[in-house]
Chain A
Amino acid sequence: MSMENSIKDLFDTLLDNETEKKIMRQILNNKKPDEIIKSFLDKNIEKDRND
């Protein structure tokens, strides 16, 4: 297992909330704040479209 996955595992274990986990994964992937916000909202926009 790569170290990148190890640190993801570490925070997945430490965090309970799904949104917090998603944010943490994006932070570990060096995503910028705007990219994180966009990816979070894009999922909701997509969900709205499907609904």
Chain B
Amino acid sequence: MIEYDYELIRDEGDEIRKFIPSNIPKKLDNIVYIEGPNSCGKSTLLNILAIGLYGQKNETIHKPLRIKMDSLLDETYNKLTFNFEIKNDNNSLSLHAEKKYPDKKEIIVYEIKNGKKNIITNERFLRNYNLIYDIPIDPTARLKQLLVDIKNDQIRYGNAVGGLRERINDIIAEIRNAKDPNILSEKNKQLEGIETKIKTKQRTRELLKDDLDILEKYTYARCYVYYDYEWRKIGNRITEKKKTKSKDKRDRNKVDKDYSELIKGLELALYEARKNFDKLTNQLDKALPKEEHNHLEIWNRIDLGKTFGIFKFDENLIPEINHFITILEKIKLEHKDDQRIKEIDLYKYLIQVLQSFKDLTIMLPGGKTISDFIADLRKLEKEKEPHVILFENISKSLELLHTLREQINHIENNFLTRIRKLRVKSVSAESYVIESSNELIDRLEEQKRDTEKKLNFFEDEWIKKGRPTPDDFEKNKDQWDKYTGYTEEQLLHEINELKDEIINYNAGVEKLKVQQGMLEKDIHRLEEKEEHPYQNYLGDLEDNLLVAAQTLEQKLRRDFFNYINELLKDKGKLSKDKKKEKYYDAIFKYLAKRISFVRHLSEEYKVKYIDVINETIITEGKKKIRFADMGTGQSQSAYLLGKLNTSDDRKIIAFFDEVAMMDSSSLEPIYKKLRTLNQQNRLLAGIIVQRGDKVKVISKVGK
């Protein structure tokens, strides 16, 4: 049922006219045919109903009709008020529209569904209702206008797919932000790994600290004892030399000048040789095998200081130097191809290379990090190190032995031989008084000061380490025994390396603790979240559904939109694009389904294809009917049927005006279609208006 009322007051310049429904009843059936003369109010009624159903904003409505609606609402000369209600057969659904104020454009539209009244906005109206309002003028040309409906449908579907795409993205974000048991378990595993690494590193660091403690105690105690002895020895020598010097002062005039110079030269040369001799004495002990113990005893009995009194070297000095050179050269030759030395070279080289990559978080075969691997190599290097140290000490000892032999030969040839000759030939034994030069005493004083510095250093360190005694070392001999062959420099180098290594371990532990803290926070954050029901389907959503929705949206909003626009602008035929051709072919078949049947020269044909490019209809019997050859009434009928054959389930409200060229046989398919839609509960109202001499209102419901 359609119930309506309106009042229109129009300023026509020379007079003000008032229009109210007077010829057409204010209550109409839902499907109705109205015939009447001009100005009986037929078109005004349709325009008012369309205005109340957002017709002005509906782009599917032919523009001249929208202009008419606009002019009705132009309050400069039209003062319009209206209200109407359109109700379905069982009264379960009705639409109300009301324009209360003649000077305002405000219209309020309500929907009453199952007794529930709600204001209905334009957007919601468009989603739920399909207002078809048309005057089928030039219907063959306007068959193409059916494409506008398809275009609008495509836009609606494109928007719907866009909404789907946005929702998929939201769900993906929700899943990413939700509690993921797999990620949680992975992070817990990582945390366990880090905790194990921290413990391992801490354990290794403690072992290194123990090693360092033993090494420091051993080194400082050994060096302290050595420098204490050296310092005292040099002190004694200085005292002795000073005594000789004071005696010398008393007898200075008795000493031959040349002889005196030779003595001074000898004393300084011997001083230098003695430094090397002492160094060798300290070193040979570490370089020689135990079988050489007897020779070392002979060596230790040699006193180079005595040479200054008797003007000849100990007879064992040169033979022992030569003996040691032979022995050490032999050992060196044996070590030349020592596998352990080559291994150490390899480890050092690998460590140096790997140091540049130690921050990389890659795992090496065997599940180790680069830092772990470097630590393993260092351990291997340390195991083999005593052999390298021994080899180094042999080389250094050989070098010193050669230097000492040269010094001895030089002293013998340049000083001792000449002094002995002078003593025999020109000076009586009593008058030979040995003079010590100031220079030698200065050198000894300097040596004493240097030794004292070292003594003080090692004494301080030894005290800091708790003054370890030889008894302390006896307890854990296996831990320091390997260092007995090390020189002072090698020991200090080893201490520094161990300290560096401990610092590195500390840094490593700190770094791991930072990672541990971050992971713990992450795990805590993840544990507090809820699991998402689609957690396991993130891949499906991302790789399949989202991709499909994006592609589909692009097709609807871009590709198909462009294709149909080209058709509407008559540019479709210019295309050779296969995708576009496929689209047009499908659209022409679809249009045929919408029109379904056409009447042509009193016959009815089932339509198979409507080619809007070539303006041809192809029937099922393969008859070709050109648009231009169709009767106006017949093409009007085809066009209106096309408008009514919609594909969505929105409720249809159809108003057709000026169907003047259609005879009853052309109109009958339209009534039939309207009744079918009504039975399917898809029609809310259908009004068909035609010009006639008298007002006739005929209900078409149920006929």
Contacts and interface: CB of A to CB of B under 8 A. Distances in A.
A19 B586 contact: no
Contacts of B153: 7
Contacts of B544: 19
A2 to B, nearest CB: 9
- Counting chain A CB atoms within 10 Å of each CB, which of B160, B537, B541, B646 scores highest? B160
Given A15-B555, A19-B548, A33-B164, A6 B537 contact: no
Contacts of A36: 164
Interface in B119-163: 153, 157, 160-161, 163
Chain B contact patch, size range: 35 or more
Contacts of B42: none
Given A20-B548, A41-B540, A44-B537, A27 B590 contact: no
Nearest to B680: A2
A8 B193 CA distance: 56
Interface in B152-179: 153, 157, 160-161, 163-164, 166-168, 171
Interface in A8-51: 9-10, 13-15, 17, 19-20, 23-24, 27-28, 30, 33-34, 36-37, 40-41, 44-45, 48
B587 A10 contact: yes
A37 B648 CA distance: 21
Contacts, number: 83
Contacts of A45: 537
- Main SS of the interface on chain A? helix
A45 B582 CA distance: 36
A33 B551 contact: no
Nearest to B547: A19
A24 B157 contact: yes
Contacts of A37: 164, 167-168, 171, 534, 541, 545
B186 interface: no
A24 B171 contact: no
A3 B594 contact: yes
A44 to B, nearest CB: 5
A36 B168 CA distance: 10
B700 interface: no
B161 A27 contact: yes
A22 to B, nearest CB: 8
B160 A27 contact: yes
A49 to B, nearest CB: 12
B108 interface: no
A23 B560 contact: no
A13 B581 CA distance: 12
Nearest to B550: A20
Given A3-B594, A7-B590, A24 B168 contact: no
B647 interface: yes
Given A14-B583, A30-B649, A20 B590 contact: no
A33 B163 contact: yes
A33 B167 contact: yes
B663 to A, nearest CB: 26
A44 B540 CA distance: 8
Interface of A: 1, 3-4, 6-7, 9-10, 13-15, 17, 19-20, 23-24, 27-28, 30, 33-34, 36-37, 40-41, 44-45, 48
Closest 9 A/B residue pairs (Cβ): A7-B647, A33-B167, A19-B548, A6-B593, A33-B164, A3-B647, A10-B590, A13-B586, A20-B552
9 contacts: A6-B647, A14-B555, A15-B555, A20-B551, A23-B164, A30-B648, A33-B167, A40-B545, A41-B534
Given A37-B545, A48-B536, 19 more contacts: A3-B647, A6-B590, A10-B590, A13-B586, A13-B589, A14-B555, A14-B560, A15-B552, A23-B164, A23-B548, A27-B157, A28-B157, A33-B163, A33-B167, A37-B541, A40-B540, A41-B540, A44-B537, A44-B540
